[in-house]
Amino acid sequence: MRKALRALALVPLLGFASMPARADAVEDFYKGRTVSLIVSSPSGGGYDTLARLLVRYIARHIPGQPTVVIRNMPGAGGIVATNHLYSIAAKDGSVIGSVQNNTPFEPLFGTKEAQYDANKFIWLGSPSVETSVLTIWHTSPVNNIDDARRIELKMGSSGANSTPSFYARLLNQTLGTKLRLIVGYPGQNDALLAMERGELDGYPSVFYNSLVATRPQWLPEKKVKLLVQYGAEKLPQLPDVPFIMDLLTNDEDKQLWRIAVGPIATGRPYLLPPGVPADRAAAMRKAFWSAINDPEFLSDQAKASLGADTPRTGEQIQALIASAYQSSPAVVERVKKLQQSQ
């Protein structure tokens, strides 16, 4: 009898001993797997260059350390890839997206090709945000926004419906400036060269990071004047340059600018398709944040002048996009009209 009782007492212990240690479900999923990073732009561009650097670090931080490979999917300003990520890509955590910063806002502005709900993506974050500056050449008699309301400035741009043209019209409408667009410059660099030659007074939308990287002597040598800065928040590096939100007094104008700077404030965003299991989504958000704050990554991006040193969390990007979609229809309609040539 005593032998039988001892045998019964050992049964639970033997049961626990025979059970395998519980493997972490997320690590188990990713171990030995290949994760695709879909980049919505062609190879060789800024988004692609950053993504190819990032894959070397994010794989270290994903549980199970899967292989991460790049897949470029350009088209329609990033909309082709974003449509794919929303409707076709696997929703199990094995696909990440690097999308152009205009794409979260295309459905809001009625772009028919954008067949997705930006609020349903799981946003991982961004390695950077940008701040633009209204930049004029030092020989101009204009020294501040008040002067720009009285004196016409010739502003370079690629086309009537390009991003710089949009911001020039927006500055004119909300601040009363007199920015006259001169279109036909292939890119920003061409317009900056035209400023040096005296053909143009300035450029309406220069990223501060780009200005510092491509024209490092302009600010120290006072070759240019920065009249106003606009983006997610005021840059500490530019304490004496007015921030757009501090110059606006009309609430609707402020709402208009919050939408307008959405792409700038979003930076270079990364996402997961909607429907990825919560535990894998949380792990990927953590891995992404760890990767873009990895000291080696920060060192490498600095050497490459990628400007990827002002990170934003997935929650911050998600909130920014949600806020834009809560804007009044009247404000959204104003943005749509400003996007079209006048």
149 in a structural domain? yes
> Are 95 and 36 within 8 A, CB to CB?
yes
Lowest mean pLDDT among 114-118, 274-278, 331-335: 331-335
Task: Say how far apart CA 45 and CA 32 lie, in whole Å.
Answer: 30
72 and 118 belong to one structural domain? yes
Q: Which residue has the higher pLDDT, 342 or 251?
A: 251
Q: Determine if the pTM surpasses 0.95.
A: no
Q: What is the helix, strand, coil percentage profile of the chain, to 5?
A: 45, 15, 35
CATH code for the domain of 46: 3.40.190.150
Q: Residue 82, class by beta-carbon neighbours within 10 Å (0-12 exposed, 13-18 middle, 19+ buried)?
A: buried
4 in a structural domain? no
| Residues 20-25, mean pLDDT to the nearest whole number | 58
7 in a structural domain? no
| Residues 50-78, mean pLDDT to the nearest whole number | 94
Is the pLDDT at 145 greater than 80? The verdict is yes
Domain enclosing residue 300, as ranges: 25-129+267-338
76 and 136 belong to one structural domain? no
150 and 299 belong to one structural domain? no
Each residue's pLDDT tens digit, 256-267: 998 999 988 999
137 and 83 belong to one structural domain? no
What DSSP letter does each residue of 220-271 carry, written as one string? TTT-EEEEEEEESS--TT-TTSPBHHHH---HHHHHHHHHHTHHHHH-S-EE
How many structural domains is the chain composed of? Answer: 2
Last residue of a domain, one of 243, 262, 281: 262
Task: Say how far apart CA 104 and CA 283 lie, in whole Å.
Answer: 23
Each residue's pLDDT tens digit, 76-114: 888 999 999 999 999 999 999 999 988 999 999 888 899
104 in a structural domain? yes
295 and 312 belong to one structural domain? yes
244 and 313 belong to one structural domain? no
Residue 342: pLDDT band by 50, 70, 90 thresholds?
low
Is the pLDDT at 6 greater than 50? The verdict is no
Q: Which residue has the higher pLDDT, 232 or 329?
A: 329
135 and 258 belong to one structural domain? yes
| Residues 198-219, mean pLDDT to the nearest whole number | 89
176 and 58 belong to one structural domain? no
Cα maximum dimension of the chain = 106
Q: In what order do the strands lie in the sheet with 179-183?
A: 179-183, 153-157, 202-207, 131-137, 224-231
Residue 232: pLDDT band by 50, 70, 90 thresholds?
confident
315 in a structural domain? yes
Mean residue pLDDT across the chain:
89
Last residue of a domain, one of 262, 289, 306: 262
Q: What is the pLDDT of residue 341?
A: 61
Residue 133: pLDDT band by 50, 70, 90 thresholds?
very high
13 in a structural domain? no
Is the pLDDT at 35 greater than 60? The verdict is yes
Last residue of a domain, one of 232, 262, 292: 262
